[in-house]
Amino acid sequence: MGEDRSFRDLLRGYSFIAPLVAILLAFVFVPVVGTCIDSLYREVTFLPRAFIGLGNYQSLASDPGFRQSLRFTVLFVLASVPLELVLGLSFALLLHRPSPARGALRACVLIPWAVPAAVSGKVFELICNFQYGLANYLVQRIGLTDGPVNWLGSTGGAFFALVAGDVWKTAPFVAILFLAGLSAIPEDLYRQAAVDRAGPVQRFARITLPLLRPVFVVALLFRTIDALRVFDLVFVLTRGGPGGSTTSLSLYGYDAFTGGDFGYGSAVSVVLFLIAFTLSVAYVRIGRFGRELS
């Protein structure tokens, strides 16, 4: 009787998580495995399908266009994610202080996050526009330059515009994460520290930062993965130009797909997936995230 009961409990437990498992299988596992399989084939619309093993990956390794987009993507992550974390933490610390306008300020900060990336990309395009852009209006008004500047015309300029667009949009998201982390830190700790005569710097370094570590790891994880697969912002703002210098890996894979080569595009996606996966595992390990949870 008792054994029967526990078996039924077990069954009931599994039946509760079954929908979630089914969704994960259908929408995560199947596409990932399918993409991995496709990447091993010559899967081109105008040629017969054929198994070519790691052929697509070999082609990728000797493809300068792929190397260029890999380099851009890595640099983009390295430039935008640290900025987003620092700015996000600063916003969070400011917004955490009690003030009469706190609610309104918090809502304001969230606005960029609520704007779709394609729209914010368009906004930055308008700012950088050569003929009508706000940036050119300002620099000429102030008298910094004689004529308009072609902001997106240099490799550095286009890169900087993309980083700025990403930071503007996602620093608020990081701020909200940190804000949640800050509210979870008990006030008692600060009061005790004050009794022990710890200054504000010490309190920040010894209490706030260590207790924010789990949130920090989550923010780092989210932002790194998101920045790695940047597509919409690049697609709208620079479309990979000039000279392909701002082609992200996602865009490079997309171009392969639209050109009819699903195998090659899948190989690009798998490489992107492996990078994101490796980094995620590393972050969780380094952040000792598993221990924090248990």
Partner 1 sequence: MRSRAFSLALCAVSAFLACVAATPPSRAGTVTFAVGGAPAEFAYWERVVRKFEGKTGIRVELLRQPTDTGLRRQGLTVPLQARISSPDVFLMDVAWLAQFAASGWLEPLSPHLGKEGCAGKEAFFLRMIDTVDTYEGGVVALPVYVDGGLLYYRKDLLGKYGLPGPPRTWDELLRYSETVQRGERRSRPGFYAFAWQGAQYEGLVCDFLEFAGPTGGFRVENGEVTVDTPQNRKALRFMRDLIGKYGVSPPNTYTEMREEEVRSFFQEGYALFERNWPYAWPLHEGRDSPVRGKTGIAALPGWSQGEGAACLGGWHAGISRFSDAKPESVKFLCYLTSYETQRDLALHLGWNPGRRDVYAAPELLAKNPHLPALRAVFENARPRPLLPYYSRLSEILQRHLSAALAGTSTPEEALSAAGREMQAVVTRYR
Cβ–Cβ < 8 Å for 278, 259: no
Tokens 């093993």, residue located:
53
The one-letter amino acid code at 151 reads W
3-class SS letters over 55-85: HHHHHHHCCHHHHHHHHHHHHHHHHHHHHHH
Does 57 help bind partner 1 (rule: CB under 8 A)? no
Residue 42 has φ and ψ, to the nearest 5°, of -80, 95
* Contact map string, positions 64 to 93, toward partner 1, x by CB under 8 A: xx----------------------------
* Contact map string, positions 14 to 53, toward partner 1, x by CB under 8 A: ------------------------------xxxx------
Choose the binding region for partner 1 from 61-69, 87-95, 182-190, 213-221 (rule: CB under 8 A).
61-69
Residue placing its CB nearer to partner 1 in the complex, 241 or 287 = 241
Number of residues that bind partner 1 (CB under 8 A): 37
**What is the H or E stretch that residue 51 is in?**
strand 50-51
Does 256 help bind partner 1 (rule: CB under 8 A)? yes
Does 62 help bind partner 1 (rule: CB under 8 A)? yes
> In whole angstroms, how close is the CB of 77 to partner 1 at the nearest point?
22
Of 57, 93, 214, 245, the one binding partner 1 (CB under 8 A) is 245
Tokens of 186: 């008990």
Does 147 help bind partner 1 (rule: CB under 8 A)? yes
> In whole angstroms, how close is the CB of 64 to partner 1 at the nearest point?
6
Distance CA 235, CA 124 (A): 12
CB atoms within 10 A of CB 207: 17
Burial of 285 (0-12, 13-18, 19+ CB in 10 A): exposed
Contact residues toward partner 1 (CB under 8 A) are 44-47, 59, 62-65, 129-131, 147-148, 150, 152-155, 158, 238-245, 247, 255-262
